[in-house]
Amino acid sequence: MAKKKDDAGSESTAVAKGLFVRCRYCGQKNSVKADYKNNSANCGRCKLPLSNEPHKKFADLGKHEYIHPADSKALAALKAIPGIDTALKKLLAVTGESAIRVMFMATAVKVTPKQCPDLHAKLQIACTTLGVDMPDLFIQQNPMVNAFTGGVEKPVIVLHSALIERLSDEETLAVIAHEVGHIHAEHVLYLTAARLMEALANLSVARLIPGSEIVKFIISAGIGGALLAWARRAELSCDRAALLVVQDPHVIGRTMMKLAGGTFASKIDYDLFLEQAREFQKNYDEKKLDKFWADIINAGLSHPFPIWRVSEILKWVEDGQYKDLMKKN
């Protein structure tokens, strides 16, 4: 015990002298300059900003504590379709979950403690914060700014190269945490089926795969449309999961700003972007025609509008629900 006390004392002295700072996210001890200030340097392991602010880890976080109401409502409607679970399990059995893993092992780069170690550290941070076993993480060369989670028994997360190139380290953590949120929220069965239905939406293509009768049944029964409608709303829940990991709503906001504005985002005023998000939400809530067109346009997309996602996160924070959850766990 005496030795531990000496070690702790020497560490405190070192911090006081500005020699090192322990990363609040991953725990790595980092050497810093004597004039160090919060957020003026990044961790050598996870590359996230160093700060003496605490980072909360959730001991027993339940998915229903952060699931978005629109997600819950859409999922209930989806589960009300007769035979849906059986059909989806047959679909995934036919297409083979192993195909997902084989594809990315062959066409993407697998992240490990030695391969892209900062991304591996970010994945570990997201998983330990939410209480999820670490899935495999891959980087795939793709000009589309996107990320997704696939598989069921052994989920995998895939980040597109364009996304990593465009986002900051904190924003990249937010995206990884969003994908880990899908695993924590137990979205992966329906989410994998939804993405597969997007790929097989053309029946002429669907007929080429084994078990095409199952695909045709799913489409004809309206399951495909219900799946995609739910999948869009599930993204709102996982934005909340991302916030529980990064613990700064503006990181989520800036990420969405880049998704909306692309590389031009560096010239965009973030505060004005937040005003735009609030204006969008106000019009959506108060103007029936705006709501009608927003719903129609968004129905053709795989994700909710970035501006809508920002407004939903702002609402969750400003309503006090996020703060209450941070205190509770």
B/e letters for 288-316, b = 16+ CB within 10 Å, e = fewer, are eeeeeebeeeeeeeeebbbbbbbbbbbeb
- The single residue of 97, 170, 171, 179 carrying the catalytic annotation is 179
Q: Which residues pair with 161 in a beta bridge?
A: none
179 is catalytic: yes
Sign for the CA dihedral angle at 231, 236, 237, 240 comes to positive
Give the DSSP letter of residue 45: T
CA separation for the pair 25, 301 (Å, rounded): 34
Residue 317's alpha-carbon distances to 266, 286, 322, in angstroms, are 25, 21, 5
CA separation for the pair 189, 244 (Å, rounded): 23
Query: In the chain, helix, strand, coil percent, each to 5?
Result: 60, 5, 30
Q: Hey, which residues are catalytic here?
A: 179
